[in-house]
Amino acid sequence: MAISRRKFLGSIGAAAVGGVTGALGKAYGASNKHFKGYPDSYGVLHDVTKCIGCRKCEDACNVVNALPKPEKSFEDLSVLEEKRRTDAGVYTVVNQFDVEGKKVFAKKQCNHCLEPACASACFVKAFTKTKQGAVVYNEKLCVGCRYCMVACPFEVPAYEYDDALTPSVTKCTMCYPLILEGKLPGCVEACPKGALIFGKRDDLIKAAWQRIYKYPDQYTAHVYGEHEMGGTSWLYLSGVSFSDVGMREDLGIKSAPELTAGPLAAVPIIVGLWPVLLTGVYAITKRKEKIAEQEKESAVARTLEQAQEDTAQKLEKLKAKMTQEKTSAINFEVKKALEEAAKKAEEEAGAQTEADASEEENASDESMKEDE
Amino acid sequence: MIVAVILGLLPVLGQTGTKKAGNVAGPDVIAIDLSKEMASNEMKPVKFFHAKHNQAVEGRCEQCHVRDKETLVFKFKRTDQPPTKELYHENCISCHAEKKAAGRESGPLAAECRSCHGALAEPPDTAWTKIPFSKSLHYIHESSEFIVSTAKGQTDNCSACHHNANEKSRQIYYTKGEESACVYCHKETKTQDVRSIRDASHDSCVACHEKLGSKKIKAGPVTCYGCHDVREQAKIEVVKTVPRLKRNQPDVALMTGLSSSGKNPKYLMNPVAFNHVGHETRAESCKVCHHESLKKCSDCHTPAGDVKGDFIRLEQAMHSVQSGQSCVGCHNQKTTASDCAGCHAMMPSTNLLDTSCAVCHNTPDNQVVADEKMKPVLAQKMVSSRAKTHETIDAEKIPEIVQISILADEYKPSEFPHRKVVQAITKRIEKSELANAFHKDQQALCMGCHHNSPRSMEPPRCASCHGKTSDAASGRPGLKAAYHGQCITCHQEMGIKEVLATDCIKCHAKK
């Protein structure tokens, strides 16, 4: 039996509402907490005003991560002429911006979000936000879907397109292995100008704001990364507007998971609910059919039984009637016979007595009536 | 389909239109906007090119402006009356029609409404620049033989421009010694009784220029461009040494604040002996400090704050770092000059040193001076006793070469020409009175680099405070960052020839 269109849509609606309300309740309804990252996690403060564009950080990154050597050496500052982005073999780039006739340099790499978009988009959990602050990637788990590249609001993860057999996603690791050894990330170690400071994220935010308070004329009163996309471990200070140094100012302060939690949380519920729902719909339909069948059978049986009963009753009635008729006929015959017999006896007695003649007349009248 | 294509093109066309930001109208564009005068406002304001019309009438201002007595009225075809639509339509269009009939280039005619209206959605973005009436420009007028006083018995010509106004009789009059800046009364927009600065200066300045010019006397500009175009402004003659303005202003002033009461009252803070004449030569005009009137600061900015002074207390008026009109604010702005910024750019602007107060509040005695006449005498004494130069340190006592070897690994230790740098900085500021007043002795200059430690000829080493790596908790840079930070920032701020960011061997010899 087919499901009607109305039924089908109705059931989808029911499932969706159930799923979404379930998810909302979980993500927002229960608390007003804002995830502020792992306590005592590390970060890096990049003070754009201090950067002189020497590319020592790029050089150090290349060495520490054993990346392929670029065509132009790191000493060659002509590469700053064009805007660059991170690539499979380049985890960090320094770009040059011309802001009101002044050269401003800004370094770009993975910002190590507190709640990374890449990790939330990855369905095999190839990305992990470590408690040290670094967002690290596990190529053994990666299936190469590159959802992380689409998800990242900072356009950081790159892919080894030229590796035909075992391509993986690449990005800055905040030099996680070095951090575990208690060392500084390569770029921070190499920066001659103190444009990069490594430390506890909470300390860095305080230090950043302290600089803004101390030098109000030199800084834009905003610490980029303190709240952007729910906060990032990499923080920025600038003397010009952040959009002037190629950083997005339209991201908002909600983390990617927070933005997508509702709809995404509904997905497993809807996906999980489908078999149950369809099986249920099927079962209900099946059961209905079965019940109908049973009802039909019992109805037929009942009708049959009734018919039989009726016939039997009729038969019985007929039988009874016939018996009655029979008995009444017998009785009549008996009575008649008895009367005849009695008449006969009377006739015989009259003949014998003096009033025999009158009795003979009465008797003949009666027999005549009987004949009529 | 075609519609879609056109719609698709529209934003692109719009963008190219707005992106021509360099295409700014000249300073002569005037918006003829009668929205205030007219009840219904069907049409947008008119974008009027004054210079173009001036050219068309060959400089004959009377074509559009009424001549009243000897001067022109800088309103279109009228004197005091409010402007009307009809006035503009009749006169503009009839003139355009005449020109056209004469076979000349002409403006829009009747029924070409939007050729004039609608070119302007908002006030035009013009290259109009305010003309600063500097001391030099003032002197040129003051010393002109053609500008003569209208009042009798005056030896100078101040009354030709300066006047006071009697609010009751609505008459203007002149009182010697009460001259003030025009903007004190003539504000940006007109008030009930007083013309705007725009109208007042056009009526007075341009009319006078025109009058003199018509007599073939060398006079100031009469065109929009003449005063309001940056390139034209640059052509105006500048008198380098301007004699002091004559308005009975004091040479010195004793600035005092709150005082204690009782038998022997004392100022709660040592008074400041203010060198008024010294500041006159430094400031571009009186308005730099006297922003609303030429009264004493404390007349409006009382120690406790008053509605007259917008509740800005005397202390704030003198010390606000952000304000360009306060002492500290103005001094702070001076530190951004390249001669000063090498050191000052790295100093937090918000925290004043403990020693800074005494630089100004330097009267030895804080006894209340009851006699007003004694105040300037005391102040004069203080000001004259001030040293004009700072004490220098003997060159031999300044280390000549400082070898920075503590971090050397990739390169050889840096040979820092310490004495050369100290002397170069000293030379850059030795003529600055402000620097000499605040630095007093050359040791103060040492503090530019050897900061955050007490003054000493043997300051602590950089490595005493700056560790191997930058400290996140304090934000204090590591040693390498501190060295590079100071050297490079100072070089950048003082405009010393730029070194390529990768040219390490400029300072560090290769191993």
Residue B344, Ramachandran bin (φ over 0: left; ψ between -120 and 50: alpha; else beta):
alpha
* Surface of A (13-52) touching B: CB under 8 A: 45, 50, 52
What single letter denotes the amino acid at residue B74?
F
A72 at the B interface (CB within 8 A)? no
Mean pLDDT computed over A268-282 = 85
In this model, does residue B139 exceed pLDDT 90? yes
Name the strand (E) or helix (H) holding B67.
Answer: strand B67-68
Mutate to test the interface with A, among B470, B487, B493 (most CBs of A within 10 A): B470
Mean pLDDT computed over A110-125 = 94
The helix-helix angle for A256-352 and A356-371 (nearest 10°) equals 150
In this model, does residue B147 exceed pLDDT 80? yes
In this model, does residue A17 exceed pLDDT 90? no
Reported as a pLDDT band with limits 50, 70 and 90, residue B34 is confident
The share of chain A scoring above pLDDT 70, in percent, equals 85
Can you tell me the distance from the alpha carbon of B245 to that of B156, in angstroms, rounded to the nearest whole number? Answer: 12
Beta-bridged to residue B172, according to DSSP, are B165
What single letter denotes the amino acid at residue B231?
R
Quote the distance between the C-alpha of residue A6 and its chain's center.
22
Question: What's the pLDDT tens digit per position in A152-176?
Answer: 999 999 999 999 889 999 999 999 9
Residues 6+ apart with CB under 8 A from A11: A277, A281
Question: What's the pLDDT tens digit per position in A240-249?
Answer: 999 999 999 9
In this model, does residue A372 exceed pLDDT 60? no
In this model, does residue B496 exceed pLDDT 80? yes
The answer to whether the beta carbons of residues A127 and A135 sit under 8 Å apart is: yes
Environment class of residue A183 by beta-carbon count within 10 Å: exposed (0-12), middle (13-18) or buried (19+)? middle
Can you tell me the distance from the alpha carbon of B131 to that of B117, in angstroms, rounded to the nearest whole number? Answer: 29
Nearest alpha-carbon partner for B28 in B59, B52, B2: B52
In this model, does residue B11 exceed pLDDT 80? no
What single letter denotes the amino acid at residue B468?
K
- Give residue A5's pLDDT: 66
Residues 6+ apart with CB under 8 A from B163: B172, B173, B174
Which residue in this structure is represented by tokens 């507190």? A114
Name the strand (E) or helix (H) holding A81.
Answer: none
In this model, does residue B281 exceed pLDDT 80? yes
- Give residue B430's pLDDT: 86
The share of chain B scoring above pLDDT 70, in percent, equals 93
Average confidence score pLDDT of chain B: 85
Residue in B475, B480, B501 nearest the CB of A211: B475
What single letter denotes the amino acid at residue B267?
Y
Residues in B whose CB is inside 8 Å of some CB of A read 345, 348-351, 469-475, 477-478, 480-482, 484-485, 488, 500-502
Can you tell me the distance from the alpha carbon of B223 to that of B383, in angstroms, rounded to the nearest whole number? Answer: 46
* Residues of chain A positioned with their CB less than 8 A from the CB of B481: 50, 191-195
Reported as a pLDDT band with limits 50, 70 and 90, residue B511 is confident
Sign of the Cα pseudo-torsion (B470, B476, B480, B486, in order): positive
Question: What's the pLDDT tens digit per position in B290-346?
Answer: 999 999 999 999 999 999 999 999 999 999 988 889 999 999 999 999 999 999 999
The answer to whether the beta carbons of residues A109 and A102 sit under 8 Å apart is: no
Reported as a pLDDT band with limits 50, 70 and 90, residue B24 is low
Q: Which residue has the higher pLDDT, B114 or A282?
A: A282
Q: Which residue has the higher pLDDT, A207 or B455?
A: A207
- Give residue A180's pLDDT: 96
Reported as a pLDDT band with limits 50, 70 and 90, residue B386 is confident
- Give residue A1's pLDDT: 47
Greatest pairwise CA separation for chain A in angstroms: 176
Question: What's the pLDDT tens digit per position in B118-136?
Answer: 765 565 567 888 998 989 9
Can you tell me the distance from the alpha carbon of B27 to that of B41, in angstroms, rounded to the nearest whole number? Answer: 26
Beta-bridged to residue A95, according to DSSP, are A106
Question: What's the pLDDT tens digit per position in B399-444?
Answer: 999 999 988 888 999 999 999 999 999 999 988 888 888 887 788 8
In this model, does residue B4 exceed pLDDT 60? no
DSSP 8-state secondary structure symbol assigned to residue B267: B
Mean pLDDT computed over B219-248 = 90
The answer to whether the beta carbons of residues A106 and A238 sit under 8 Å apart is: yes
The reply to whether residue B501 touches residue A214, judged by beta carbons under 8 angstroms, is no
The helix-helix angle for A256-352 and A5-24 (nearest 10°) equals 130
Can you tell me the distance from the alpha carbon of A355 to that of A363, in angstroms, rounded to the nearest whole number? Answer: 13
Question: What's the pLDDT tens digit per position in B69-80?
Answer: 777 888 898 888
Reported as a pLDDT band with limits 50, 70 and 90, residue B351 is low
- Give residue A169's pLDDT: 96
Count of all residues that appear for chain B in the document: 511
In this model, does residue A115 exceed pLDDT 60? yes
DSSP 8-state secondary structure symbol assigned to residue B337: S
In this model, does residue B241 exceed pLDDT 80? yes
Residue B136 in tokens: 């030099």
A63 at the B interface (CB within 8 A)? no
In this model, does residue B108 exceed pLDDT 50? yes
The answer to whether the beta carbons of residues B83 and B76 sit under 8 Å apart is: yes
Task: Measure B420 CA to nearest chain A CA, in Å.
Answer: 23
Mean pLDDT computed over A120-132 = 93
Among A23-37, A187-201, B287-301, B492-506, the least confident range: A23-37
Mean pLDDT computed over B234-250 = 90
- Give residue B425's pLDDT: 92
- Give residue B80's pLDDT: 80
- Give residue A29's pLDDT: 41
In this model, does residue A20 exceed pLDDT 50? no
The reply to whether residue B471 touches residue A199, judged by beta carbons under 8 angstroms, is yes
In this model, does residue A345 exceed pLDDT 80? yes
Count of all residues that appear for chain A in the document: 372
The end-to-end CA distance of chain B, in Å, is 71
* β-pairing verdict for A196-200 and A234-237: unpaired
In this model, does residue B18 exceed pLDDT 60? no
Mutate to test the interface with B, among A41, A79, A193 (most CBs of B within 10 A): A193
- Give residue A109's pLDDT: 97
Reported as a pLDDT band with limits 50, 70 and 90, residue A299 is very high
Mean pLDDT computed over A91-113 = 95
CB atoms within 10 A of CB A28: 12
Q: Which residue has the higher pLDDT, B433 or B481?
A: B481
Residue A301 in tokens: 């049986």
Reported as a pLDDT band with limits 50, 70 and 90, residue A268 is confident
- Give residue B1's pLDDT: 40
Residue in A192, A200, A213 nearest the CB of B480: A192
- Give residue B123's pLDDT: 59
A84 at the B interface (CB within 8 A)? no
The share of chain B scoring above pLDDT 90, in percent, equals 36
In this model, does residue A117 exceed pLDDT 60? yes
The share of chain A scoring above pLDDT 90, in percent, equals 66
Quote the distance between the C-alpha of residue B384 and its chain's center.
29
Average confidence score pLDDT of chain A: 86
